[in-house]
Amino acid sequence: MSKSLPNRAEVDARFTWNSASVFPDGAGWEAAVSSVLARLPDLAEFEGHLGESPDMLADWFDAADSAQLLMGKVVVYATMSYSVDATDQTAAARADRARTIYAQLGAAMAFAVPEMIAIEFPKLREWVATSPRLKHLGHFVDRLEKLQNHVRSPEVEELLSQASDPLATALSVHSVLANTDLRFAPASGAEGEEEVAQGTIGALLTSPDRDLRRSAFESYADAHLEMRHAMAANLAAGVKRDVFYARARAYKSSLEAALEPNHIPAAVYHNVIRAFRDNLGTWHRYWRVRRQALGLSALEPFDLQARLGSSKRKVLYEEAVDWISEGVKSLGEEYVEVLRKGSLEERWVDVYPNKGKRMGAFSTGTSGTYPFIFMSYNDDIYSMSTLAHELGHSMHSYYTRKTQPYVYSSYGLFQAEVASNMHQALTRRYLLATNTDPEFQIAVIDEAMANFYRYFFIMPTLARFELQIHERVEKGIALTADDLNHLMADLISEVYGSEVEVGDRNRERIGSTWAQFHTHLYSNFYVFQYATGIAGANHLAEKVAAGDAGAVRNYLAFLKTGGSMYPLEGLKVAGVDMASPEPVASAFAAFARMVERLEELVAARPALKKP
Residue 108 main-chain phi, psi, to 5 deg: -65, -25
Over the stretch 547-591, which tens digit does the pLDDT of each residue have?
889 999 999 999 999 999 999 999 999 999 998 888 888 889 889
Residue 1 pLDDT exceeds 50: no
Q: What is the DSSP string of 262-290?
A: GT--HHHHHHHHHHHHHTHHHHHHHHHHH
- The number of helix segments (H) and strand segments (E) in the chain equals 26, 5
| All domains of the chain in start order, with CATH | 21-167 (1.20.140.70)
For residue 607, what pLDDT band results from cuts at 50, 70 and 90?
low
**Structure confidence at residue 586 (pLDDT):** 85
**Model pLDDT for residues 254-266, shown as the tens digit of each residue:** 999 999 988 899 9
> What pLDDT shows up at residue 412?
86
As a residue count, the chain comes to 611
- Confirm if 327 and 388 have CB atoms less than 8 A apart: yes
Non-local CB neighbours of 97 within 8 Å, separated by 6+ positions: 33, 78
Give me the phi and psi of 246, to 5 degrees please: -60, -45
Residue 3: predicted pLDDT: 65
> What mean pLDDT do residues 207-221 have?
95
* Cα 579 from chain centroid (whole Å): 21
Confidence at residue 293, expressed as pLDDT on a 0 to 100 scale: 92
259 phi and psi, to 5 degrees?
-95, -40
**Strand pairing report for 192-194 and 187-189:** antiparallel
- Whole-number pLDDT of residue 5: 87
Indicate if 390 belongs to the active site.
Answer: yes
* Type of residue at 462: L
Whole-angstrom distance, CA of residue 79 vs CA of residue 96: 10
DSSP classification of residue 299? B
Q: Report pLDDT for 457.
A: 94
DSSP class of 137 = G
Q: Is the pLDDT of residue 83 over 90?
A: yes
- Reported as a pLDDT band with limits 50, 70 and 90, residue 311 is low
Specify the pLDDT at position 262: 86
Of the candidate ranges 132-136, 181-185, 432-436, 517-521, the one whose mean pLDDT is the lowest:
517-521
- The residue among 363, 346, 468, 343 whose CA lies nearest residue 415 is 363
**What are 377-395's pLDDT values in tens digits?**
999 998 999 999 999 999 9
Return all residues near 15 (Cβ < 8 A) that are at least 6 apart. 317, 349, 350, 351, 352
Ranges 71-80, 152-161, 431-440, 506-515: which has the least confidence: 152-161
Considering 260, 300, 390, 474, which one is annotated as catalytic? 390
Q: What is the pLDDT of residue 610?
A: 43
Residue 173, pLDDT above cutoff 90: no
Report, as an integer, the average pLDDT of 105-130.
96
The H-or-E segment that residue 362 falls in is: strand 362-363
Dihedral of CA 521/492/463/539: which sign? positive
pLDDT at 323 over 50: yes
